[in-house]
Structure 1
């Protein structure tokens, strides 16, 4: 088996140049853009499926602990919460399910943010 010397550390085992990677990125971007279709007369998501917002919320929340409308503004990071060790597998699965629910993003959340 042939080993490439000096490329294990930098993750460039294919020995590609920055110019080649930029070329491939440009081609892939053009190919992806050709597959994306923007519908101008699309009715959009049903207004009944969207939750009405009382605030001028310009963003969506990725996690239930996220600040709505943050849009990447720098703010001090809250202290990390530590998980308590649990003796029950039911509690672990409940916590895991809660993390899945916090990470879930609905299509309505995404479509609500689209400028199309």
Structure 2
């Protein structure tokens, strides 16, 4: 059973999700059948939770929720929250950047 998303974030679903997964497989097959083409040293698939103006806390909670589903730690660095699942040289990374703190008035 899949845990429901607590906020109305916009991700690919249904047929669009299947198409993306199939396209990733097709890309791997294409690269395998064309060994003369260069490939990167690392591939990073990035997912950015999208929502109609989410609060920073909501966006962080969404990345935390996905980190739990992936069984990985939530990482934070300079206001960027990430959850990363590595498969060899390929990573699936969910990222949310919080708003910088307001500067003092002038």
| TM bin (shorter chain) | under 0.3
Structure-2-length-normalised TM-score: 0.23
Tell me which structure has the larger Cα radius of gyration: 1
